[in-house]
Structure 1
Amino acid sequence: MAIDPTQPYDDDNIFAKILRGEIPNKTVYEDEWVLAFHDINPQAPEHVLVIPKGRYVSWDDFSAKASDAEIAGFVRAVGHVARAAGMVEPGYRLLANVGQHGHQEVPHLHVHIFAGKPLGPMLMRS
């Protein structure tokens, strides 16, 4: 089910539960701004999710409402995770789905980091 990025934050979403420690995860990195962990259904040999600790539905919500420190911390954490995992060379892909057309499934901002094999084209050509 795709998400409406303008909806209010849902405190019962799976990532909120992970942040509260109600659902276990395989943490890759954590600091005051973010939690990064392995995806439970990986779509590439390496598939890490990076989520802000704040209550943000989507990239749009985050970019409009987060503090400068939260935004900088999130962006730096994504880079840190990729570097620490050795993904920079030969490369990786970042993906943030937003809303129904973007196929966002969890109403909490998250960035996917995919790596470990050639990933092919970004979108299927129609």
Structure 2
Amino acid sequence: MDCLFCAIAAGDIPSRQVYADDAAIAFLDINPFKRGHTLVIPRRHVDDLLAPDEALTEIAPAVSATARLLTERLGADGVNLLVNSGSVAGQEVFHLHVHVVPRYTDDPGLRALTDRTPGIDLDEVAAALTE
């Protein structure tokens, strides 16, 4: 199986990892919507949210911890969670992943969620989250 996120979870492909536990890892999205946009994935391969097991339940603690990390370290005022299941929903990597997108007072609302913030320095964000 050639799964990009399985390779990231195994450490075969580098990522800007910001959180990890036994069930999941979280790393910065390489094409972020907002500063700190992070993906949380299960360590084991699960195609999507509609898979017959309860993978979302397994990674829920990592999603919560990541959301707290983003708000505390980056000064976010809130977060959006997004899961795409299936190609018709916009899923591009077929390994379950939860987008944790920090939101800031100066850019509020659901309509602004996917308006990408230009000029995000991923190395700077990673340093802020892992120091």
Which TM-score bucket, shorter chain as reference? 0.7 to 0.9
Number of the residue aligned with 2:53: 65
Richer in helix (by share): 2
Number of the residue aligned with 1:7: none
Change over 3 Å in CA distance of 1:119–1:108 after alignment to 2: farther
Cα RMSD between the aligned structures?
2.3
Q: Describe how 1:80-95 pairs up with structure 2 within 5 A.
A: 80-86=65-71, 90-95=77-82
- Structure 1: gaps of 5 or more residues: 1-10
- Structure 2: gaps of 5 or more residues: 115-131
Change over 3 Å in CA distance of 1:105–1:119 after alignment to 2: farther
Number of the residue aligned with 1:3: none
Number of the residue aligned with 2:109: 120
Taking the aligned partners of 1:119 and 1:96, their CA distance within structure 2 comes to 20
Taking the aligned partners of 1:18 and 1:89, their CA distance within structure 2 comes to 26
Q: CA-to-partner distance for each residue in 1:10-69, whole Å, 9 max, x for gaps?
A: x312101111211101111111100101111111112000000121000011xx224xxx
Number of the residue aligned with 1:25: 15
How far has the Cα of 1:89 moved from its partner? Answer: 6.2
Percentage identity across paired residues of the two chains: 36
Number of the residue aligned with 1:48: 38
Moved over 3 A (4+): 70-73
Change over 3 Å in CA distance of 1:102–1:18 after alignment to 2: same
**Kept after mapping to 2: 8 A contact 1:47/1:112:** yes
The two structures have a TM-score, normalised by structure 1, of 0.76
Q: Per chain length, whose mean CA-contact separation is higher, i.e. which structure has more relative contact order (CA < 8 Å, sep 6+)?
A: 1
